[in-house]
Structure 1
Amino acid sequence: MRIFIAGATGALGSRLVPLLVEAGHEVFGTSRHQTAVAGLEAQGATGIVMDPLDPDSVRAAVAEAKPDVIVHQLTALSGITGNPKKFGKEFAMTNRLRTEGTDHLLTAAQEHGVRRFVAQSYTSWTNERRGAWVKSEDDPMIDDPGKEARETLRAIRHTEDAVTATDGIDGIVLRYGTFYGPGNAMARDGLMADMLRRGKLPVVGGGTGMWSFIHIDDAAAATAAAVERGAPGVYIVVDDEPAPVAEWLPYLAEQLGARKPMRLPAWLARPMVGQFGIALMTTVRGSSNTKAKRELGWSPRYATWREGFRTGLG
């Protein structure tokens, strides 16, 4: 098949391209910068310069590729500081890519007869924070995640609704857990590792917030599976073991050779991290990968973050 990857030079796209090439697909990858084209071509793909916020640029890129499948992996995450109080500002461009960029890609898909469309979404703090600590695709998203994340949740909802409801499109949404591994904040040379080594990432409150993780290579493998199979709909892509902050954060610090994180009461941390930061540490819910494993024929190589943090951080 001819596969068009929007955002092919990002953390996930750069791992996805070689998988699809190796599987025998003809891959077309986009970047906003001409300098990245050579890297894509070295991986065996055809590089296309595209401005995802310019509808004419998107139409021209899709027309050039003539794809059977479009994969939407557009994000803009450079410059992220890890401060939850700045979350909305730092995700502003990614939110545009999830709204305007998604719409441009879907319009181009319709105009050029592309039926299958696979898009990136996210799961964790987006889950309702009541009831079970592990959620499935059937459970609702939270109504209000807090002021710092409202626009980001709105953008995520837009992507999911547009991709799964556009006429003539077999839309698949992949709700990835928190990425770790090479090229991510949670890597040996990443932002989170630096914060832990400097003692800047404490366990807040009881550390009861439940997180679900996915190694970047496992996320790429699930995406490759969704290109080829799976009914339209939403799939959660995470490992097999959701875990509370109080459990995974000290283990991550140990694997990085950092000191054990200090503990701070929520009232003391709130002025520094805001209400959203408190939620990330104490009330967010994890997610289940049961549907993705069953219907995509996929299983994570790193079944648990315990193994992944030990051997897969890069």
Structure 2
Amino acid sequence: MRTVVIGATGHIGSYLVPRLVRAGHEVVAVSRGTRQPYHEDPAWTRVERVVADRDAEGPEFAARVAALRPDAVVDLMSFDLESTRVLVEALRPTGAFLAHCGTIWVHGPADASPLREDDPREPFGEYGTQKAQIEEFLLAEPGLRCTVLHPGHISGPGWPVITPLGNLDPGVWRALSTGAELLVPGLGLETMHHVHADDVAQGFELALARQDAAAGNSFHVVSDRALTVRGFARAAARWWGREANLRPVSWEEFRAAYPEHADASWEHLSRSHSASTDKARDLLGYRPGFTSLQAARAAVQAMGLLDPAT
């Protein structure tokens, strides 16, 4: 299968491209050419590399992708409906299979747990709303077989990991590693669902291998279980041999204490997502290889904040 991966040197693509090469795909890796893959792998020597800038090239980008004669396209880098629409129009004559990267944020605030793909949705914010629109468009597309995979909070080496407070504040890790007090908004029972980038790559590899099952469907690709704020913080503190020193506060107090990071925390924690992988397991054979905690720990180790020997 000749497979074009858009965003091939990003966090997911860095794992997906070698997976596809080892599975026998003829891989065309499309990227802006501004960076190398996150991880070295000898499989990259067997990959065709194409430099293209989606934003700068406009509709010409989609035409270039179609001209690569793909049997399948994995789109890891579309964040608005119009860009996806243009790509679909270019791919229709090719008959290629299209696998799009979405997000569990298409759900908005959770009404039930774990979330299922067909649960009622109330997305909010530009990112989740745009991804929900893209999914609706692709799964209703009559002229092209499409599937959408929804990762959780992508984690792993080389990528800033969402902390137990739902933000990217390095001070959270410092507090947990030293036993310093950490303010927690509310009771700390909100959930976040992390996933290792290699497990997201696994999901895309399986979708390409099982196109009949994947076409017309969307799937959650996350770890087996989500983590609560409290549980994540307590487990992470033990990486350094500490007990988490958590103090519940109101959101007003939290915003006053962490003004630069409070909005990100609210974006993550107000959704309180825990997503089911049953559909991906049943139809694709998806089996995550990392827990949420393992995925986060790998990222923290790569940041140099944790001794790999501990």
Q: Give me the TM-score of the superposition, normalised by structure 2.
A: 0.79
* Aligned counterpart for 1:136 among listed residues 109, 116, 119: 116
Once structures 1 and 2 are overlaid, which stretch shifts more, 265-274 or 213-222? 265-274
1:162-201 to structure 2, matched below 5 A, reads 162-186=137-161, 192=168, 194-199=170-175
1:139-167 CA-to-partner distances (Å, cap 9, x unmatched) read 12225x3xxxx222221112212221222
Tell me which residue corresponds to 1:248.
Answer: 232
Tell me which residue corresponds to 2:179.
Answer: none
- C-alpha displacement of 1:240: 1.2
* 1:277 has 2:265 as partner: yes
Once structures 1 and 2 are overlaid, which stretch shifts more, 154-163 or 270-279? 270-279
* Aligned counterpart for 2:221 among listed residues 233, 237, 258: 237
SS at match of 1:42: helix
- C-alpha displacement of 1:305: 2.1
Tell me which residue corresponds to 1:8.
Answer: 8
SS at match of 2:102: strand
Give the whole-Å Cα distance in 1 for the aligned partners of 2:269 and 2:287.
28
SS at match of 1:134: coil
After superposition, the CA RMSD in angstroms is: 3.0
- C-alpha displacement of 1:205: 1.1
- C-alpha displacement of 1:250: 3.2
* 1:204 has 2:191 as partner: no
1:150-161 to structure 2, matched below 5 A, reads 150-161=125-136
Alignment-mate amino acid for residue 15 of structure 1: Y
* 1:305 has 2:292 as partner: yes
User: Would the aligned equivalents of 1:204 and 1:282 in 2 still touch at CA under 8 Å?
Assistant: no
Alignment-mate amino acid for residue 194 of structure 1: P
* 1:74 has 2:82 as partner: no
User: Would the aligned equivalents of 2:108 and 2:128 in 1 still touch at CA under 8 Å?
Assistant: no
Give the whole-Å Cα distance in 2 for the aligned partners of 1:34 and 1:133.
40
Once structures 1 and 2 are overlaid, which stretch shifts more, 262-271 or 212-221? 262-271
1:14-25 to structure 2, matched below 5 A, reads 14-25=14-25
Tell me which residue corresponds to 2:60.
Answer: 56
SS at match of 1:220: helix
* Aligned counterpart for 2:107 among listed residues 111, 127, 136: 127
Tell me which residue corresponds to 2:199.
Answer: 218
1:251-306 CA-to-partner distances (Å, cap 9, x unmatched) read 2344367883643322212453567733633552311001001100120112x324
User: Would the aligned equivalents of 1:205 and 1:281 in 2 still touch at CA under 8 Å?
Assistant: no
Once structures 1 and 2 are overlaid, which stretch shifts more, 50-59 or 12-21? 50-59
Give the whole-Å Cα distance in 1 for the aligned partners of 2:98 and 2:240.
38
Q: Which runs of 5+ in 2 are unaligned?
A: 177-181, 303-310
- C-alpha displacement of 1:36: 4.9
* 1:100 has 2:75 as partner: no
- Give the structure with higher Rg (CA): 2
User: Would the aligned equivalents of 1:28 and 1:48 in 2 still touch at CA under 8 Å?
Assistant: yes
Task: Summarize the Cα distance change of 1:252–1:163 in structure 2 as closer, same or farther, 3 Å threshold.
Answer: farther
- C-alpha displacement of 1:202: 4.3
Task: Summarize the Cα distance change of 1:266–1:187 in structure 2 as closer, same or farther, 3 Å threshold.
Answer: closer
% identical aligned pairs: 27
Q: Give me the TM-score of the superposition, normalised by structure 1.
A: 0.78
Alignment-mate amino acid for residue 206 of structure 2: A
Task: Summarize the Cα distance change of 1:261–1:34 in structure 2 as closer, same or farther, 3 Å threshold.
Answer: same
User: Would the aligned equivalents of 2:17 and 2:44 in 1 still touch at CA under 8 Å?
Assistant: no
Q: Which runs of 5+ in 1 are unaligned?
A: 76-96
Give the whole-Å Cα distance in 1 for the aligned partners of 2:284 and 2:49.
28
SS at match of 1:29: strand
Alignment-mate amino acid for residue 60 of structure 2: D
Give the whole-Å Cα distance in 1 for the aligned partners of 2:262 and 2:168.
18
